Chain A
């Protein structure tokens, strides 16, 4: 196991008085894809929000590249190399598709000289978006909006990508495409922390798997071991899905 790029230690926090995270701890090895799985409402998205400073923590700390980043602003986190693609619908509905994408590079501002080139490259991977570049973002279909978010999120040169259920709403082809992009990123040394309910395909491309339940880490292991763990399969991966169908 290589050095951890992100270290999450004993997070406790939640919404209002409600505690969702009960001492969540794990670490993300540098240059890997790590996938978090768990039942609905386990607190997966909440962990991501906590890492990205969107949730006030009561306890615990977050260490990125050896430096504590707990409580930093989103802007600071972005400049230090973390990017975050949240779950759900996160676009600017009244702006055009292209403007939405360009906003992804706000932090870098004029530092990125090759921004147009990068946008073009991203649009090559998601050709639908190129076709609709001037359309208002709200008119995109659900899956197209998700693609837009992914492109926007990856526009900078992040060292760590937090990506929350990218496959929701994407067609199988696009899921493959997205996972390929993530693999490419990993191969370039970028670390990826991903949440997925589409757990089988996700774990297949992952190096590590984390199982989260009731706000606690239940298991951290190499991805294939998680995938093949019979109890995990029973509890979180729907058992043998195809068999129950008759």
Chain B
């Protein structure tokens, strides 16, 4: 087993607020790591620092052993790291299919071949497959901005997989998604994880989802790492119950 993602001593503060305070952890290849913690404990900020969306105040991030701190999100993405967002982030005026093609196109060919090649970069089939999986078939040509909340959330997740990533950071993928669909989503994640040895880090407040999907769970509180362990260990950890789960 090799570490796909190594995070060491990441810090991020806004003014006086320490949103992320010296967090270190590794993610092994093929792992599904859950990330939980109370609202405002710094989970999303940690993602943003790892992905280059925010410049961390301190610390270092490695992907596949290579230092990536300071890289831009697009560069990281082309190294095979993709993500989803907590708040809805789609391209509202483009159709669902266009959204998905867009999500994959920069992983095809070169700048030049993309200019001169086919207009869909050869991705229509892949996009439609993804659409089929997320049960968005009847919406394929509709503008993404007109989708319901849960549908946009699913589209956002679908977009993260279009480029065939090795490491995916998902920020609350389950929020607003119907339970039946969520079951499918979970299976899909698990199968991608199995078949392509893709690695996931998942922020989620839905405990059933996290505990049944993840191999390991990490808990943050007030910017710091509070606990790390198997789902069962975490569930039994009194500090976690106190700070996060409630009774």
Query: CB–CB under 8 A between A and B in the complex?
Result: yes
Give chain A's interface residues, CB within 8 Å of chain B.
Answer: 15, 38-42, 44-45, 87-89, 128, 139-144, 146-147, 165, 167-176, 197-200, 234-239, 241-242, 244-245
Q: Specify which of B39, B179, B205, B206 is in contact with A237 (CB 8 Å cutoff).
A: B179
* CB pair A241 B212 closer than 8 Å: yes
Give chain B's interface residues, CB within 8 Å of chain A.
Answer: 14, 36-40, 43-45, 86-88, 139, 146-151, 154, 172, 175-183, 186-187, 205-208, 212-213, 243-246
- Looking at A140, A170, A172, A235, the one whose CB has the most chain B CB atoms below 10 A away is A172
Query: Which residues from chain A contact B38 at a C-beta distance below 8 Å?
Result: 143, 171, 173-174
Q: How many pairs of residues, A versus B, come closer than 8 Å at their CB atoms?
A: 122
A87 to B246, CA, bound (A): 25
* CB pair B175 A241 closer than 8 Å: no
Query: Which residues from chain B contact A40 at a C-beta distance below 8 Å?
Result: 148-151, 154, 176-178, 181
Could you give 18 example pairs across A and B, Cβ below 8 Å? A40-B150, A40-B151, A40-B154, A40-B177, A45-B148, A140-B40, A141-B39, A141-B44, A142-B44, A143-B40, A165-B176, A167-B205, A169-B39, A172-B207, A173-B245, A197-B179, A241-B179, A244-B183
Beyond A40-B181, A236-B179, is A173–B244 a contact (Cβ under 8 Å)? yes
Query: Which residues from chain A contact B87 at a C-beta distance below 8 Å?
Result: 88-89, 142
A15 to B139, CA, bound (A): 14
Q: Specify which of A41, A87, A142, A174 is in contact with B86 (CB 8 Å cutoff).
A: A142
* CB pair A142 B178 closer than 8 Å: no
Beyond A168-B176, A173-B38, is A41–B246 a contact (Cβ under 8 Å)? no
Q: Specify which of A168, A170, A241 is in contact with B208 (CB 8 Å cutoff).
A: A241
